[in-house]
Structure 1
Amino acid sequence: MVLGKDESEMAERSDRSLSEDENRMNPDSEAEKKKGGSRSRRGQDESNGLSAERIFEGQAVPSWGRQLTFRAFAVSFMLSIMFAFIVMKLNLTAGIIPSLNVSAGLLGFFFVKTWTKVLDKSGLLQVPFTRQENTVIQTCVVASSGIAFSGGFGSYLFAMSARVAGQSTDPQSAHVFKNPSLAWMIGFLFVVSFLGLFAVVPLRKIMIIDFKLTYPSGTATAHLINSFHTPQGAKLAKKQVKALGKFFSFSFLWGFFQWFYTAGDGCGFTNFPTLGLKAFQNRFYFDFSATYVGVGMICPYIINISVLLGGILSWGLMWPLIETRKGHWYPAEASPTSMRGLQGYKVFIAIATILGDGLYNFFKVLGRTLSGLYHHLRDTEMSHVLPIANGSSPENPQVSYDDQRRTQLFLKDQIPTWFAVAGYVAIAAISTATLPHMFPQLKWYYILVIYLFAPTLGFCNAYGCGLTDWSLVSTYGKLAIFVIGAWAGASHGGILAGLAACGVMMNIVSTASDLTQDFKTGYLTLASPRSMFVSQVIGTAMGCASLPCPNTASCSATVFLRLP
């Protein structure tokens, strides 16, 4: 693999400016460095303390191949299984999936650091644990556990089942279903989950270096990993893992205690009428679930307030009032779970609210994306304009030592554009030929249209995620449902075609934004883009191969336990 022309020139300029900086370094700054303050190579303060790359200046950065170790992927596999269960649980209960990047970085550091300490004391340690390897673990874990969400284990895969189709009052829809099966689920995930990785690889330099997008979660994870690999950071990580273990033990023991008082579906602490029987009938009670307590702690307060307000408006006001119109607004003989009765109002009012808010945010992020691109291109054109009389030359902002060092290594191990394009075309061709055999209702030209627009939508989502730390994966999936479902038509299996298209779109858009965020983390920790890409590919493969197994087992156990 060779450097592209533009990126190699930037790397050479970065090398030259870095060497010029070192030659201009003030010799009197050694005393200041010992006191904990550092001056940049240009003689200006970078921060009140040592800059990140000054701290690690004496440590050699391993090659991208040495950043990929067996122990890293062993720990990643173990953590990805644990995180996958967390994501599945949250997906089926709260419906809110918090960012797990920081937790993956913390636990990856703790387990590998503990292992290397044991080997070091026994004299068997050969390869030290580096922050680049820590970043590889974090990337692999997030990629694997992310399949638990984008793979549709709590959304479109379940929506395809006969159990869900049987709840429809439309006789045509009731016979259009595809029950989850281990074989086709694994095959489906493998043919749709890798396209997003190749779609954003050519854009990594634009996103990270040119646009300087923030990616708050990726940046926070990088700073955390950098801090862990200092003497003070190791002690902090140990304290954090102790606190994590303490609350994990409490949550586990509390769940185990509740099990003794649960004899059936409507029994136990989860169905205790905390606020009275009348309030319990309208779903106002505390279910003593540690899951929701944890979600409330990690989510911003504005989300918690919104959820609480939605619960009060719906179960406290709207549903009781609509129920009084029984026989007028809906048939009196309709069952409580029928979509022709009160349940239909609950579902469609909620869906309309979610879609309206989702489309608003979609267009808002799209507007910010286009506005950012316009301003960036305009500033680029102005920087090439020759100065005129009474006009000032455009100022070139001074680049810090950290940015020079990071840019140099980020551009060193690039992934060729031809490789990304060839990979995207090859996987798209395989997917276009394979998916119609899994879903006959999903025609090959539907898939082709999705793949033509997917890189653009993946870029928009990755750019918006870099600005707001908000991935609109579900919104893009709903968009695919409406477009492909309407195109196919209800009489030709439009429901199943729309759900399958939703899965294709969600996997592409989700992996694209995840990889770009991991590129940002790797940029700040000096991890090679190649190792980030390989780690993401391996993590995605882990998720595709392993996650359908516990999901299928869980579904089978649930159905078996609920049989009369």
Structure 2
Amino acid sequence: MDSWNRIRNRVRDAAPALEASDASPEFTATAVIIGLCIGCLLCFTNLYFGLQTGWISMMSLQSALIGYLISRMLPLPLTPQQIIVVQTTAVATGTMPLAAGFVGILPALGLLDETRDGVGPLNLSWIATIAWSCSIAFFGVFLSPPLRKQVIIEEQLAFPSGTATAQLISVLHDMPPPDTTVRRRAGYSPIDDNESIQAPSTIRPDSPSGYSAIPTSSEIDAPRTLKEREDIRQTGWRALGYSFLASSAMTLAAYFFPVIFAVPLFGTYLAKNWLWTFTPSLSYVGQGVIMGFPTTLSMNLGMLVGWAVLSPLANLNGWAPGPVGDMTTGSRGWILWVSLAIMCADSLVSLIPVVVDYLSAYTRPNASHAKEMEHETETEDRLVPTRWVLWGLGITIPLGVLLVWIVFGAEGIKPWATFLAFIFGMLLSVLGVRALGETDLNPVGGLGKLAQLLFAYLQPSSVVASIVAGGVAEAGAQQAGDLMQDLKTGHLCGASPRAQFYGQLIGSSVSIVVTTGVWEMYKRAYPIPGTTFPAPSAWVWLGLARLLRDGSLPEKSQLFMAVFALIFAVSAALKTYAGRRQHPYAKYIPSGIAFAIGFLNTPSFSLARLVGGLTEYLYYRRRKDSGDITLVIIASGFVLGEGVVSIVTLLLRTYGVGAASCWGCSSGMCAGCLA
């Protein structure tokens, strides 16, 4: 303990609480292989859930948990710094479905209509999909090192999710909690050293991003006995194993008897005519636990307004006369526009203080002095050299421009326009990372929409250019933000930034092949977008591209878009103001992002997540133990179970094995009946 106290005192001003041992290498084959295995599981689950609901999970905390549990089975358990390499590699592998646009951009291109858009559906071949993924897979990775120096080392932004993961790792390894003292810029109050930062795991919609709030502990500061450590390991494995098996069994049963996931809880009339069903999926319950009660509450408020008020209003008044579920003429497509207005208003207002802070940092009289301050505690051999960053960007950007030109041709997006998209993406990455560091919210979807706005002016007649340019800009901001959370964890736990950088590159490289392979299987087995995988984010991308080109909107939607945009602009301003001043009620101000996602998804998904959110709230309220991670482990097993078994059901679908029975599906709305 004395040695740890000396370390903490020596580096307290620079933030890290732990240092890696020079005798213990961090970047090892074991750590990378474990990280890739976990990352592939996350990749499967993220593609599956992203195509269903538009949300994916970074799951950095879950990666660290599973990596720790696996590590304890090895003859020589991994060190905390090696666990961070596991986590970083897993996150880089698992988030490719969003970074490369598999849950939004690619399905949107497949929805193009030659009569309306001037070009038919673009369904990329597998080699073209790999080329597209390669064009943007490494852009954000090379942006991370210079951004780390600015926002983590110099400004010491909070990055609550990364900090919470570091706290968990310190608890699991019997280490003193990391020093989370944060020196904020002018106008901010410091986070107290004993304050527990909440938000360990991230669940993001493909459009903007939302983050969870699961309690973690920074209270345990004494070593546990060998028996206590063994009890934690055994309990963790049992919780993860049983929850994984339960979710897997339920998912497989729902494949053969689809009504299990389409329960007409509110009656067959509402189920058939207004899409009000309930999906008792354990994975969605688990996601609700990870997201936390405030976020799931915001989502369900949006669901009630969108599906119980606006959808009937649009349909009964003839503004959306088609079938309710039709994205073109039905009320589901009509309320999508209101959702888009909420997302854009919330994202843009949330970015305003970040931009103001960024500009003011260079206009204050002492700005030059502040920029000269150096708080780096790592040695040069553990950092990513600047020349690597310059060479990396110098290669990846021209290569990305070339690959995009090869895939889409000059008729899709001009090479000069793609180059500008990369440059614009670099600027937006700075804003996204700063927003993430301050608020734990990375509004990547909103940033992508900003890129679409720019290219509506630069290449106004091309829907393809708008979508692709937005995807390029979003990829950089999303990757840089995700990796910055991992770098914050590594900084607090004394992990080598260079070792994490290697893990990021390897994870992204492997994920290109894995994600493309699974994507091709999904395309062959299911129509995308379709009943089973509606890909709601694709309609958002395509809808905005069409709007910016020809300005047409469904009847009366303009009025509701303006009203809701104004409401959530005010809401975002209040939430940002309260959050920056640490007001306890800030988390209960409705999140515009989560509210809008309640519009995009049918009620069944939101209701199941509310069950998880309520479970999380009641569990921690009764136990009063912020260090208890059992519920987090169970939720992780639920999510991973359905995601992994989705590959099994995908293979069954590919080989022609369908539902065993549609018994009980009187509403006719279950996936088995409509596939």
TM-score bracket, shorter-length normalisation? 0.7 to 0.9
CA contact (8 A) 1:186 1:544 kept: yes
Paired residue for 1:435?
404
Query: What is the alpha-carbon distance in structure 1 between the residues aligned to residue 317 and residue 169 of structure 2?
Result: 58
Residue type of the alignment partner of 2:139: L
Task: Say if 1:89 and 1:370 are closer, same or farther in 2 by CA, change over 3 A.
Answer: farther
* Structure 1 residue 61 corresponds to structure 2 residue 22: yes
| SS of residue in 1 equivalent to 2:257 | coil
Match of 2:418 among 418, 433, 447: 447
Structure 1: tracts of 5 or more residues without a match = 1-32, 118-127, 263-267, 385-395, 397-402
* Displacement of 1:373: 6.2
- Deviation string 1:49-75 (CA, Å, 9 cap, x unpaired) is xx954xx7xx83347xx3222222221
Query: What is the alpha-carbon distance in structure 1 between the residues aligned to residue 512 and residue 503 of structure 2?
Result: 14
Paired residue for 1:149?
98
* Structure 1 residue 115 corresponds to structure 2 residue 74: yes
**How many residues are matched?**
475
Match of 2:430 among 456, 459, 474: 459
Describe how 1:258-269 pairs up with structure 2 within 5 A.
Answer: 258-262=254-258, 268-269=259-260
* Structure 1 residue 192 corresponds to structure 2 residue 136: yes
RMSD: 3.3
The answer to which of 409-418 and 346-355 deviates more is 409-418
- Deviation string 1:179-233 (CA, Å, 9 cap, x unpaired) is 0321111111112111222223223222222111111111222222233233638
Query: What is the alpha-carbon distance in structure 1 between the residues aligned to residue 430 and residue 27 of structure 2?
Result: 27
Match of 1:420 among 389, 414, 425: 389
Paired residue for 1:243?
239
Task: Say if 1:445 and 1:315 are closer, same or farther in 2 by CA, change over 3 A.
Answer: same
Describe how 1:267-282 pairs up with structure 2 within 5 A.
Answer: 268-280=259-271, 281-282=273-274
* Displacement of 1:336: 6.3
Query: What is the alpha-carbon distance in structure 2 between the residues aligned to residue 334 and residue 251 of structure 1?
Result: 33
Task: Say if 1:344 and 1:193 are closer, same or farther in 2 by CA, change over 3 A.
Answer: same
| SS of residue in 2 equivalent to 1:97 | strand
Describe how 1:132-147 pairs up with structure 2 within 5 A.
Answer: 132-147=81-96
Greater C-alpha radius of gyration:
1
* Displacement of 1:410: 5.4
Task: Say if 1:518 and 1:452 are closer, same or farther in 2 by CA, change over 3 A.
Answer: same
Describe how 1:350-365 pairs up with structure 2 within 5 A.
Answer: 350-365=339-354
Query: What is the alpha-carbon distance in structure 1 between the residues aligned to residue 290 and residue 398 of structure 2?
Result: 41
Match of 2:474 among 503, 506, 509: 506
Query: What is the alpha-carbon distance in structure 2 between the residues aligned to residue 416 and residue 339 of structure 1?
Result: 50
Task: Say if 1:237 and 1:344 are closer, same or farther in 2 by CA, change over 3 A.
Answer: same
Task: Say if 1:535 and 1:495 are closer, same or farther in 2 by CA, change over 3 A.
Answer: same
Query: What is the alpha-carbon distance in structure 2 between the residues aligned to residue 333 and residue 288 of structure 1?
Result: 28
State the TM-score, normalizing by the size of structure 2. 0.64
Match of 2:453 among 451, 462, 482: 482
Match of 1:469 among 433, 440, 449: 440
Percent identical among aligned pairs is 24
Paired residue for 2:46?
87
CA contact (8 A) 1:222 1:522 kept: yes
CA contact (8 A) 1:73 1:137 kept: yes
Query: What is the alpha-carbon distance in structure 2 between the residues aligned to residue 455 and residue 200 of structure 1?
Result: 11
| SS of residue in 1 equivalent to 2:22 | coil
Task: Say if 1:136 and 1:315 are closer, same or farther in 2 by CA, change over 3 A.
Answer: same
* Displacement of 1:412: 5.0
State the TM-score, normalizing by the size of structure 1. 0.76
The answer to which of 276-285 and 422-431 deviates more is 276-285
Task: Say if 1:40 and 1:356 are closer, same or farther in 2 by CA, change over 3 A.
Answer: closer
Task: Say if 1:520 and 1:335 are closer, same or farther in 2 by CA, change over 3 A.
Answer: closer
| SS of residue in 1 equivalent to 2:441 | coil
| SS of residue in 1 equivalent to 2:378 | helix
Query: What is the alpha-carbon distance in structure 2 between the residues aligned to residue 383 and residue 532 of structure 1?
Result: 25
Query: What is the alpha-carbon distance in structure 2 between the residues aligned to residue 508 and residue 237 of structure 1?
Result: 37
Paired residue for 1:6?
none
Query: What is the alpha-carbon distance in structure 1 between the residues aligned to residue 324 and residue 236 of structure 2?
Result: 50
Query: What is the alpha-carbon distance in structure 1 between the residues aligned to residue 4 and residue 147 of structure 2?
Result: 36
Query: What is the alpha-carbon distance in structure 2 between the residues aligned to residue 508 and residue 44 of structure 1?
Result: 32
Residue type of the alignment partner of 1:261: F
Paired residue for 2:490?
522
- Deviation string 1:134-192 (CA, Å, 9 cap, x unpaired) is 1111100001111122221110111111xx224xxx71426333103211111111121
CA contact (8 A) 1:84 1:146 kept: yes
Paired residue for 2:302?
310
| SS of residue in 2 equivalent to 1:547 | helix
Residue type of the alignment partner of 2:170: N
Query: What is the alpha-carbon distance in structure 2 between the residues aligned to residue 222 and residue 116 of structure 1?
Result: 24
Instruction: Give the 4+ runs in structure 1 shifted more than 6 A.
Output: 39-46, 333-336, 560-564
Query: What is the alpha-carbon distance in structure 1 between the residues aligned to residue 7 and residue 388 of structure 2?
Result: 38
Task: Say if 1:285 and 1:342 are closer, same or farther in 2 by CA, change over 3 A.
Answer: closer
- Deviation string 1:75-109 (CA, Å, 9 cap, x unpaired) is 12211111112212221233333440110011112
Task: Say if 1:240 and 1:192 are closer, same or farther in 2 by CA, change over 3 A.
Answer: same
CA contact (8 A) 2:424 2:451 kept: no
Residue type of the alignment partner of 2:335: K
Task: Say if 1:195 and 1:113 are closer, same or farther in 2 by CA, change over 3 A.
Answer: same
* Displacement of 1:422: 2.1
* Displacement of 1:521: 1.6
